[in-house]
Structure 1
Amino acid sequence: MALFKRRTVGRPGEWYYCLKHQKVEEGPECRAADRLGPYATREEAAHAMETARERNVEWETDPKWHDTGAGQGKGGGEEE
């Protein structure tokens, strides 16, 4: 049992999207692992999942992240 429990105090004007409760929060109410943000506005936080999906598509289609260097691609194994 912990002797001291850290309480996360929210800051006015910082908005988060809680993944666990699927809702927008002003200031962090839930633990960091369960939220996205901070966002500057409530509106931005409300679209957090959409923003994350768009960024994932950008990253998945970015040619810099899809190297087919040695040990990958054709022949699929280790370098000889």
Structure 2
Amino acid sequence: MMALFKKRTVGKPGEWFYCLEHKKVEEGPECPAKDRFGPYATREEATHAMDLARERNLEWETDPKWHDASGKAQGPEGG
């Protein structure tokens, strides 16, 4: 059986991640994918990963395409 996706265990220099577990920026993924945001092009972008996530969550919460009149969240197809 052939793997469809090659699991990358070592990051590339120049790729920046924000680790949710350790709450720190790391170059190349040091922690498992489930515990990090990224990759980002710069250390600066990774530093602001949580701010960006908060902004996106706020946009989603106020997006009328994702909510019906009752206020229940729905997918883009309305279901």
Tell me if TM exceeds 0.5: yes
User: Corresponding residue for 1:67?
Assistant: 68
CA displacement, residues 26-45 of structure 1 (integer Å, 9 cap, x when unaligned): 01000000000110100000
Aligned twin of 2:14: 13
**Which secondary structure state, in structure 1, belongs to the residue aligned with residue 26 of structure 2?**
strand
CA distance in 2, matches of 1:25, 1:18: 7
The Cα offsets for residues 18-68 of structure 1, whole Å up to 9 and x where unpaired, read as 000000000100000000011010000000001100000000000000024
Output the amino acid matched with 1:58.
Answer: E
Equivalent-residue separation in structure 2 for 1:9 and 1:37 (angstroms) = 14
TM-aligned CA deviation for residue 10 of structure 1: 1.0
TM-score by length of 2: 0.75
**Following the alignment from structure 1 to structure 2, what is the Cα–Cα distance between the partners of residues 68 and 8?**
45
RMSD: 2.0
> How many residue pairs were aligned?
66
